[in-house]
Amino acid sequence: MLRPTTLTRDYLPHAEGSCLIEMGNTHVVCTASISNGVPRWLKGGGQGWITAEYGMLPRSTSERMRREAAGGGGQGGRTMEIQRLIGRTLRSVTDMNALGDLTITLDCDVIRADGGTRCASINGAAVALYDALGRLNLRKHPMRMMVGAISLGIVGGEVLIDLDYKEDSTAETDMNLVMAEGGGLIEIQGTAEQRPFQREQLEQMLNLGTAAIAKINGLQRKVLSA
């Protein structure tokens, strides 16, 4: 069952696009910032860029986390993986050629964590990006469709969706599903933690995840039309 989900549009006044997303007790502030210029390897190509940064506040969890910037070792592998996931997900549904020489940076800051932070980040960032791109006043909106993401898992032999931390920490199988509005698959991340899962269970997770993401897309569209 999808946890209670709330999207607050234009949560921060200074960003071109922003959204506070609350999925259960996981809360993430997502912003979209527009800047001139593109990475060096894109210069002269007439194509824009979308990138993402992700982070967790020190007390977003039950015990204080050390800031990665203060650790001296740079960003961890998990953080980099999530940033790349957010960026490539939003690029997959956006006309990059329409952006010209602009870069959109999506910042996803977890202020309260209780499982599914990467999925919440994608769901909130989609709203922030849509608003930021809309404010460019282009002839056609560059974002072709919404995207959504949901966590799934097998806990005690039962398939669950939108896992909280307790469920996720005991899951026999852990999965993150990312889809485009309308059902197109973008990414499937699934791992058996304790024992192999069956094809029938995979199909069940895909079916439940598809339905949950459709609900998330509905919430996104509702807040964007307000």
Region 125-139: mean pLDDT is: 96
pLDDT interval class at 72 (50, 70, 90): low
Q: Is the pLDDT of residue 5 over 90?
A: yes
What's the helix, strand, coil split of the chain in %, to 5?
Answer: 35, 30, 35
For residues 195 and 69, the model is more confident at: 195
Assigned token pair, 158: 């039962």
Least confident of 5-19, 35-49, 154-168: 35-49
SS3 159: strand
Q: Is the pLDDT of residue 118 over 90?
A: yes
* Cβ count within 10 A of residue 46: 13
pLDDT at 66: 86
Residue the block writes with tokens 């870069």: 103
Q: Is the pLDDT of residue 180 over 70?
A: yes
Quote the mean pLDDT of the chain: 94
Residues of the chain with pLDDT > 90, as a percent, come to 86
pLDDT interval class at 75 (50, 70, 90): confident
User: Domain map of the chain by residue range?
Assistant: 5-225
Least confident of 9-13, 42-46, 124-128, 158-162: 42-46
Assigned token pair, 11: 């949560």
pLDDT at 109: 97
Q: How far is CA 143 from CA 15, 21, 93, 94, 172, in A?
A: 18, 20, 6, 4, 36
* Topology of domain 5-225, CATH: Ribosomal Protein S5; domain 2 (3.30.230)
Q: Is the pLDDT of residue 74 over 80?
A: no
Q: CA 109, 155, 218 angle in degrees (round to 5)?
A: 50
Enumerate the H helices of the chain as residue ranges.
77-91, 117-134, 165-169, 199-225
pLDDT at 68: 81
pLDDT interval class at 71 (50, 70, 90): low
Least confident of 46-55, 61-70, 81-90, 96-105: 61-70
